[in-house]
Structure 1
């Protein structure tokens, strides 16, 4: 069983990992066992608090990815322009070297733009204007921007802050967490619930 590591910074967005982490650990649908171990990392391994006030004691700091790491998930929030976010750059570099999935949602996508990671791969984000503003001269990938909830390009998944279900779906597919049919069924269930409106 391989590990998927989630990065949480202070004021992280509670909802942006709320579907993906359980699906990896416990399975995408009842009766479909999970295929991954999930760990949470934060700066210096210290507790972080979400936008909603949830206090999380992480499993580890941001020193390096686990030896068995299959995915690095950058959870959005309000601290991706702070000095503590800079500690995430070496993890992204390590993921690149090791051909590990990188998933980013909301402001974490803008963080990737600011460090030049989106210039040669299809992506989305909160808005193109926001990627330009955060990325400045480091962001030259606007021709590859797609106005969609989530975009998967090989081992990279990006999503806007309201695309958490689509982000979950694309990460699950990229990680082959279950069959495409089971992932699609899970997405439809979470999107529509028991009643279609």
Structure 2
């Protein structure tokens, strides 16, 4: 039986604001993908960035309580995700007047920016599988009407996809993948009318 998937819930607006930076989101995601803890050198290698460029962002994440520095040797600095559980950081939504609505929007913009960059990089790489049961490159946006049962099924499927795509590297799991999604209810817009009440 699979081990339970435990998440770190993030609710504080100031902490979510830290993750409106695409680089900081990538650092947090990379730490999770590397098992929750890694050296700066390992993170830099996975991100394709110079290690020196990560320290500013790691300091901000450290000050914000999202990561912790792990005691290591003098020539190696290691960090781990702060908080309880083994899963990656997930956001708790508070859409009230004093909630974190603005910060969630900024987080979403950074997330979708990273997703687009990941997708474009995969388009340029040779050998990506684009069809069949092991398809690994896919972008889509759908818009349609769901019943309550449909929405519950979609939520279960997204939860399962989130679990699958949040596993650290292990035996049989050798392919690093990026998975992003945005599910949002829409309000049907009234039809626009041109001059004299005629449809556009």
User: Normalising by the residue count of structure 1, what TM-score does the alignment of the two structures yield?
Assistant: 0.28
Structure scoring higher RCO (CA < 8 A, sep ≥ 6) equals 2
Rg (Cα) greater in structure: 2
Whichever structure has more strand as a proportion of its residues is 1
